[in-house]
Amino acid sequence: MPSVVALALAVGAVIVVGVRLARTADELADRTGMGEALAGALFLGGVTSLPGIVAAATGALQGDAAFALANPVGGVAVQSVWLAIADLIYRRANLEHAAASLENVLQALILVGLLSLPVIAYATPDLAIGWVHPVTIMIPILYVLGLGLVKRIREQPTWQPEQTSDTVEDEPDEPSDTPVRVLWTRLALFAVIIGVTGWVIGRAGLGVVAATGWPSSVTGFTLTTIISSLPELVTLIAAVRIGALTLGVANIIGGNVFDTLLIAVSDVFYMDGPVYAAAGASSLVLLGGTILITAILAAGLIVRDRKGIGFEGIALPAAYLGTAVVAVMVA
């Protein structure tokens, strides 16, 4: 019961903060000239990933490798499903069509590459520098290089998506009278609140595992990541409602790319050797399923079905549920 109450309180906190966070990030994107795609990846993606960071670190410190690895991987998977939900809310056109962005396509491809690295680590459990696998060192390096590519194609795009009557371009809004330093302060405050909820979610999730005997990997992939990823869902819906479509989609995809850093966090905080092989076979299933989910999302961004939820609106939740079912069978 205490774990359930804690999870419920965490849900309330992220919903309240998430709406305000979306508006703050949208204005910072305009005021800094960064653009919605990159701002969504850094401001929204980074801040809303804080619960997952703390939850993954908590699981690793408690010695639960499966829970620690399942949290970041599950975050990527369920946050992709949030786009299908937002598609149902944005009725004018298919969301991936309206939020056409070369930066988002590239980030999806970078994400596929980053998610492939833990698969290599899983197959090479004896490689280690101290207690950390070499792949863990590569993940943040490739993440930074990927951000550099995203910045480069924003400044010097090599091609542009076809503009249609349903495409919503990233155009700055009229700036408010709020000083930029106040916006940065708000962003930092929201980050602290969301980070604290991450610790609550991680502890409560481990409590659920202990009380129910449910597999750690499945609990991390479903229950705790659904709750810790609620900031992404709330900010996505808020961004869609204020017309910042590119910001909302970049929040999800950029947040997913950022979440690969959580995999490295899990390995660093797991002190009994590389976390990958210790997480068990079900974690490999979760990685494979999440790579599939990301590939579906990238295909949706490129194909750009114009009306309805598109093929990805059906394929994303189906792939997520299928991955969870197979993981239960393997665990």
pLDDT digits (tens, 9 = 90+) for 91-100: 666 666 666 6
* Residue carrying structure tokens 């249609």: 164
Q: Does the structure show a pLDDT above 70 at 316? A: yes
In DSSP notation, 250-261 reads HHHHHHHHHHHH
Is domain 2-158+179-330 given the CATH code 1.20.1420.30 in the classification? yes
Would you place residue 202 in the very low, low, confident or very high pLDDT band (cuts 50, 70, 90)? low
| Mean pLDDT, range 112-132, rounded to an integer | 90
Cα separation, 141 vs 110, in Å, equals 12
73 vs 168, residue with greater confidence: 73
Is residue 276 a contact partner of residue 69, using CB atoms and an 8 Å limit?
A: yes
Tell whether the model's pLDDT for residue 203 goes beyond 90: no
| pLDDT of the residue at 112 | 93
**Considering only CA atoms, which of 216, 232, 205 is closest in space to residue 275?**
216
pLDDT band for 84, please (50, 70, 90 cuts): confident
pLDDT for the residue 174: 54
Backbone angles phi and psi of 315, in degrees to 5: -70, -35
**Joined tokens for residue 122:** 């899983």
Identify the weakest region by mean pLDDT among 1-5, 115-119, 320-324, 325-329. 1-5
Domain ranges within the chain, ordered by starting residue:
2-158+179-330
User: If you average pLDDT over every residue of the chain, what do you get?
Assistant: 77
Mean pLDDT value of segment 118-133: 89
Find which of 22-26, 103-107, 309-313 is predicted with most confidence, using mean pLDDT. 103-107
What sign does the dihedral 265-42-257-81 (CA atoms) show? positive
The pLDDT assigned to 15 comes to: 66
Distance CA 247, CA 45 (A): 10
Compare 201 and 59 and report the one with higher pLDDT. Answer: 59
pLDDT at 93: 63
Is the predicted pLDDT of residue 318 greater than 90, yes or no? yes
Q: Which residues contact 141 (CB under 8 A, 6 or more apart)?
A: none
pLDDT tops 70 at residue 11: no
Higher-pLDDT residue of 65 and 200 is 65
Percent of the chain scoring above 70 in pLDDT: 69
Q: What confidence tens digit (pLDDT) does each residue in 209-229 have?
A: 666 667 778 877 887 777 777
Looking at residue 22, its pLDDT comes to: 65
pLDDT tens digits, 64-78: 888 888 888 988 999
pLDDT higher at 263 or 11: 263
pLDDT band at 116 (very low <50, low <70, confident <90, very high): very high
Residue 173 pLDDT grade (very low, low, confident, very high; cuts 50, 70, 90):
low
Q: For residue 190, what pLDDT is reported?
A: 72
Model confidence, pTM? 0.77
DSSP 8-class letter at 157: -
Token couple for 277: 């092989």
Which residue in the block uniquely carries the two structure tokens 């869609």? 240
Instruction: Please determine, for residue 291, whether its predicted confidence score (pLDDT) is greater than 80.
Output: yes
User: CA distances (Å), 35 to each of 48, 120, 155, 169, 242, in order?
Assistant: 18, 34, 10, 11, 16
In the chain, the percentage of residues whose pLDDT exceeds 90 is 17
180-203 burial by CB neighbour count: b if 16+ within 10 A, else e? Answer: eeebeebbeebbebbeebbbbbbb
Whether 171 shows a pLDDT value over 60: the answer reads no
